Chain A
Amino acid sequence: MRILTSWRYPGNWPIFRFDDRLLLILMAAIVGNFSGLASVALNRSLVMMSEWLHHFRHYWWVFVLPAVGAALSSLFLEKVVNEGAGHGVPEVIYSVSRYGGLLRFRSSFSRLISSCLTIGTGGSAGPEAPVVISGAAIGSNIAKYFSLNDRQRVTLVGCGAAGAISSIFNAPIAGMVFAIEVIVGEWKSVNIVPIAIASVAGTEISRLLQGNQIPFSHHLFNIDLLNIFACLGLAVLSAAASILLTRMLRSMHTVSHKVSAPVWIRAAMGGCAVGVIGLFLPVVLGEGYHTVKILIEGEYGQVLAVLALASFAKIAATALTLGWGGSGGIFAPCLVIGSLVGVTYHHLLALFWPSASWVNEGYYALLGMAGLISGMLQAPLTGIFLIIEITGGWEVILPLIIVSAVTTTLCHYFEPASYYLKDLVEHGHLLRPGTDARVLSDLNVPELIEKDCIIVNQNMLLRDFIAIIKKSHRNFFPVEDDKTGHFLGIIHLDDIRPYLFDPVMYDAVILGQIMNTQVEVVHPDDDLLDVARKMDMKGLFSMPVVVNNRFLGLISKATILDQYRKELMVQTSH
């Protein structure tokens, strides 16, 4: 029994007492393997489903397939596992920000199944976000099982995300960078080492089960200065496409919620619309890796107008799929839209400057992919490393950096938060470690209440009050009703200053006459961030904490600052 108990608490094993980083590295390897397996499972399931449904593609009713898939996916999430739709990455970031990375166990498999139903039947979404939440939930639940602390749990959540992305793209560096840049948001060695280990573990699992192949074939491009300058225009076009996709996703979400129908019907409506678009432009269906491959090869062979239309159609299809309740992520659609935008841009260049020596259109497809990923995620490093790893194209790194940096900057100007973070930022839920909001969110009003106050009543004479002041080191004195005990107001030392040097007034003034009754009060459930904001706005140094008309104590700026510093040191010390 003791052996079993000690197994639950590996942090107590002698080897890990020496340095808990070793513990994290061991756990990271385990998490990386499991999240890698989850990715492979989703990947294989999508391939199987796509092969099975291929036989039905020539029927006239094929457009209902995405509708059926999206409806089943929505029903599964709503009725079977009781989770809301969506790709789930904001949920992971929210949990990391606010609750030390606690995620439900059901999240480790629910999105795998729902996204398989959506994408496998032709919905325009990607499998990457579902594997990210799955990997993150695996990391969180392993940390929970072994009773690791919040900091360690957040790292393992990052490990799960890294292992999943590394595995699905066979791209360990991109997985690692994505986890740190997007999920954890903290570049520290204590995170980087375990996340790197998890990336390696996830990649190795993928290579073991699916072979070591880069997803898209590698090409050599002869890049001159002209083509490097030209990528600035592509960055602008990518930024426009990113902003359009972001806004369409959100507007579709808003519109769908105005339809008074069950969520699965709404998902089916979105899926049906995608199916209809797919009848005319099959490029919009599914995750679209095959399309990306063709575009990089330069074999798509369509005219400019068709390419532009396909870019727009893919944006609309993705918004219809995800905005109306389908399950999946935006990673793969970004790659498809980016490559379409890139090739469209190449055609535009060739149209306006036909005599210039432009590189093969595959080069612009790569840059477009990096641009869309960077623009949507506002995570330039993830965009750069992902494209390099999935195409093996290290020679395009300079234009990749330019496109990623410019697209991110332009998108940030129009959309200050990325697609993943927009809702979190709007609701004040993005609390990165070491930031003001995060420090304050980790403190609460009850732990900051100062209770050593002397309570007086409204009928007390000034003379008696002065005697009390002599014994006290405080400037604020709460006043309570002597019959009901209800809080009535507060007296500051400044309030009695006019009477202090006039002994005649000592027996003529009672506290009820001079107390301040228009007092801003705090409730123990209030957010400290709101309390601090209120103090700043109104220039207050102390506020009474009152509940059910009863005074509990004072909360002061000095105590907040004191605890703030301690909390900040805890958050930034490792």
Chain B
Amino acid sequence: MENQMENRLLHIFRNNPFGRETLLQSLYFCNKVGASPVIYIPKTTKFLMYFDNDVVQVDLDKSYLISPETAIQRATELVEQGGISARFLDPKHFTASTLPDIHTNFDYMCCPRSISDMSSKIGLGYIGPRVRRIVRSARFPVLITSPVYKEWKSISVFFGGSANAIKALRLGFHIARASGIQLDVFTQTEKFSKKDYQQMIKDRNLEEEMDLYVKQWHFFENRVFEENLYDVPHDALVILGAFGHGVIRNFVFGSKMEKIQSTISNNLLIAGPNYTTIR
């Protein structure tokens, strides 16, 4: 008999109504995919995350430190309501006395769209620079939640054929396996035909998993990508790859991730360029 390692999701708790919505999203996600939430209640407005090739200083806005005496109790209540036992992260290492290191040995991390700026800035079309750095550097995918708690009933994966899109597809398979929900795959046909995309799947030996986990593969023929996004179910968890291309290419040709995150308000699960398949 062999046990699987539990998958763990890092959640930075904000002790206000907005933070409650975000924690509820995390708990829903954990319940769906069988992961355990690890909650960090910040005691300082900044902390460091050391990744393989980057160190990210997260400067939290003051709302994360509201009423620390009630934070643990509120978080515990929410977690236990979700039928999960609460586990809190207590930093062991400090780069400076007021600068804790939060380890990055997690399987998922949950972030609002912006973690360092005032809540008023949070909205579609804006992902904060720290969240971007975390997505770029992390081995784990980042769950970027919609502003208000929203249960998801289906899973949509965006697949454009790049190496990062393959990672996102594999992540989709993992989530489908864990949650028991089949996937909808969306592809915007640009320079390749349907057959080319199917060949890509074949070349990567993903045919079997496509048959097993994918409900439908949608091809967008309309040239305007943002218009096509209306077809994505409003209650879907959207999985996509990000930052697979360089800054210059994104600047010249635009980024699909930016278009998606600025157009739809679904929960997003983003796999960055350093994402490695979940154990």
Q: Which residues of A contact B (CB under 8 A)?
A: 1, 4-5, 82-84, 86, 91, 94-95, 98-99, 102-104, 106, 144, 147, 427, 429, 444, 446, 449, 451-455, 524-525, 527, 547-548, 550-553
**Contact between chains at A102 and B5 (CB < 8 Å):** no
Query: A82 touching B59 by the CB < 8 A rule?
Result: yes
Which of B94-102, B190-198, B217-225 is the contact stretch?
B94-102
Q: A84-B96, A102-B54, A144-B53 are in contact. Are A552 and B5 (CB under 8 A)?
A: yes
Q: A144 contacts which of B54, B96, B98 (Cβ < 8 Å)?
A: B54
Chain B residues with Cβ below 8 Å from A94 are 95
- Is there an interface contact between A552 and B6, defined as CB atoms closer than 8 Å? yes
Contact B92 A1 (CB under 8 A): no
Q: Is B204 close to A, CB under 8 A?
A: no
Distance of A104 Cα from B1 Cα, bound (Å)? 45
Most central of B50, B96, B249 by chain A CB within 10 Å: B96
Give the 9 A-B residue pairs with the shortest CB-CB distance, closest first: A102-B55, A84-B96, A99-B50, A455-B1, A451-B2, A82-B59, A552-B3, A84-B98, A104-B57
A-B contact pairs, 19 of them (CB 8 A): A1-B246, A1-B249, A4-B248, A84-B98, A84-B99, A95-B55, A98-B50, A99-B55, A102-B53, A144-B54, A427-B94, A429-B93, A444-B105, A446-B5, A453-B1, A525-B103, A525-B105, A548-B36, A551-B3
- Taking CB atoms, residues of chain B closer than 8 Å to A86 are 96
Segment 1-60 of B: residues with Cβ below 8 Å from A = 1-3, 5-6, 36, 46, 48, 50, 53-55, 57, 59
- What sequence of 0s and 1s flags, for each residue 93-130 of chain B, a beta carbon within 8 Å of any chain A beta carbon? 11111110001010000000000000000000000000
CB atoms of B54 and A91 under 8 A apart: no
Compute how far the CA of A144 lies from the CA of B54 in the bound complex, rounded to whole angstroms. 7
Report the separation of the CA atoms of residues A84 and B94 in the bound assembly, to the nearest whole angstrom. 12
Closest CB in chain B relative to A152 CB, distance in Å: 11
Beyond the given A4-B248, A547-B6, please list 5 additional residue pairs across the A-B interface where CB-CB is below 8 A. A5-B246, A102-B50, A104-B48, A427-B94, A547-B36
Given known pairs A5-B246, A429-B93, A548-B85, the reply for A82 and B6 (CB within 8 Å) is no
B87 at the interface (CB under 8 A from A): yes
Chain B residues within an 8 Å CB radius of A547: 6, 36
Chain B, Cβ-Cβ closest to A455: B1
Q: Which of A84, A444, A550 contacts B6 (CB 8 A)?
A: A550
A147, B248: Cα distance in complex, Å: 18
Please, which residues of chain B bring their CB within 8 A of the CB of A4?
A: 246, 248
Q: Please name all residues of chain A whose beta carbon is closer than 8 Å to the beta carbon of B48 when the two chains form the complex.
A: 104
CA distance A525 to B103 in the complex (A): 9
Contact among A83, A449, A454 with B5 in the assembled complex (CB-CB below 8 Å) = A449
List chain B residues, Cβ under 8 A from A98: 50, 93
Residues of A within 8 A of B94 (CB): 427
Chain A residues with CB under 8 A of B96: 83-84, 86, 91
Residues of B in contact (CB 8 Å), total: 29
The interface residues of chain A lying within 8 Å CB-to-CB of B57 are: 82, 104, 106
How far is B93's CA from A370's CA once the two chains are assembled, in angstroms?
Answer: 34
A91 close to B5 (CB less than 8 A): no
Q: Select which of B6, B59, B248 is within 8 A of A1 by beta carbon.
A: B248
How far is the CB of A19 from the nearest CB of chain B, in Å? 22
Cα A82 to Cα B85 in complex, Å, equals: 35
Q: A4 to B245: give the CA distance in the assembly, Å.
A: 12
CA distance A147 to B57 in the complex (A): 19
Bound-state Cα–Cα, A548 to B88, Å = 12
The residue of chain B having its C-beta at the shortest distance from the C-beta of A106 within the complex is B57
- Minimal Cβ-Cβ distance residue in B for A1: B249
Residues of B within 8 A of A550 (CB): 3, 6
In Å, the complex CA distance between A342 and B249 comes to: 63
Inter-chain contacts of B2 with A (CB < 8 A): 451-452
Nearest CB on A from B246, distance (A): 7
Tell which of B50, B55, B59, B94 has the most Cβ of chain A within 10 Å: B55
Bound Cα distance A98, B55 (Å): 12
* Contact indicator A548/B92 (Cβ below 8 Å): no
Residues on B with beta carbons closer than 8 Å to the beta carbon of A91: 95-96
B105 to chain A, nearest CB (A): 7
Please list the residues of chain B having a beta carbon within 8 angstroms of any beta carbon in chain A.
Answer: 1-3, 5-6, 36, 46, 48, 50, 53-55, 57, 59, 85, 87, 92-99, 103, 105, 246, 248-249
What's the Cα separation between A551 and B5 when bound, in Å?
A: 10
User: Is A451 within 8 A of B3, CB to CB?
Assistant: yes
Q: Once the chains are docked, how many angstroms separate the CA of A95 from the CA of B6?
A: 29
Is there contact, CB below 8 Å, between A454 and B98? no
Residues of B within 8 A of A449 (CB): 5
B36 partner residues in chain A, CB cutoff 8 A = 547-548
Distance, CA A144 to CA B55, complexed state (A): 10
State the CA gap A83–B55 with chains docked (Å): 14
Q: Closest A-chain residue to B2, C-beta based? A: A451
A444 proximity list for chain B (CB < 8 A):
105
Expressed in whole angstroms, the minimum distance between the Cβ of A380 and any Cβ of chain B is: 28
Q: How far is the CA of A98 from the CA of B50 in the complex (A)?
A: 10
- Give Cα A553–Cα B85 distance, bound, in whole angstroms: 20
Chain A residues within an 8 Å CB radius of B98: 84
Q: Is the CB of B99 within 8 A of A524?
A: no
**Cβ-defined contact, A527 with B95, below 8 A:** no
List of A residues within 8 angstroms of B97 by Cβ: 84
- Chain B residues, CB < 8 A from A82: 46, 57, 59
Q: Which A residues are in CB contact (< 8 Å) with B59?
A: 82
Measured CA separation A454–B2 after assembly (Å):
8
B87:A454 contact, CB within 8 angstroms: no
A525 to B97 Cα, complex, angstroms = 21
A482 to chain B, nearest CB (A): 13
Of B48, B53, B97, B103, most A-chain CB atoms within 10 Å: B53
How many angstroms between the C-alpha atoms of A524 and B4 in the bound complex? 13
B55 interface neighbour in A5, A84, A104, Cβ under 8 Å: A104
In angstroms, Cα B98 to Cα A86, docked, is 12
CA distance A84 to B98 in the complex (A): 7
Residue of A nearest to B51 (CB): A102
- Bound-state CA distance A484–B130 (Å) is 41
Contacts known (A102-B54, A144-B54, A548-B85); A527 close to B92, Cβ less than 8 A: yes
**Contacting pair B87 A446 (CB below 8 A):** no
- A527–B85 CA distance with the chains assembled, in angstroms: 22
How near does chain A come to B8, taking the closest CB pair, in angstroms? 8
Chain A residue nearest to B59 (CB atoms) is A82
For B55, the closest partner residue in chain A by CB is: A102
The answer to whether B6 touches A446, judged by C-beta atoms less than 8 angstroms apart, is no
**A147–B53 CB distance below 8 A:** yes
Q: Which partner residue on chain A sits nearest B87 by CB separation?
A: A548
Question: In the complex the two chains form, what is the Cα distance from A4 to B57 in whole Å?
Answer: 28
How far in angstroms is the closest Cβ of chain A from B205?
Answer: 26
A377 to B14: give the CA distance in the assembly, Å.
Answer: 42
| CA distance in complex: A525, B59 (Å) | 24
Q: Nearest Cβ distance between residue B177 and chain A, in whole angstroms?
A: 19
Distance (whole angstroms) from the CB of A142 to the closest CB of chain B: 12
Q: In the assembled complex, which residues on chain B have CB atoms less than 8 Å from the CB atom of A1?
A: 246, 248-249
* A553 and B3 form a contact (CB under 8 A): yes
Give CA–CA (A536, B95) in the complex, Å. 29
Most buried by A among B6, B36, B93: B93
Once bound together, how far apart are the Cα atoms of A144 and B87, in whole Å?
Answer: 33
Instruction: Report the separation of the CA atoms of residues A211 and B59 in the bound assembly, to the nearest whole angstrom.
Output: 42
What is the CA–CA distance of A403 and B215 in the complex, to the nearest angstrom?
79
| 8 Å CB contact of A454 from B1, B54, B95, B249 | B1
Measured in the bound complex, the distance between the Cα atoms of B249 and A454 in whole Å is: 53
| CA gap between A453 and B2 in the complex, in Å | 7
Residues on B with C-beta less than 8 A from A552 are 3, 5-6
Which chain A residue shows the least CB distance to B54? Answer: A144
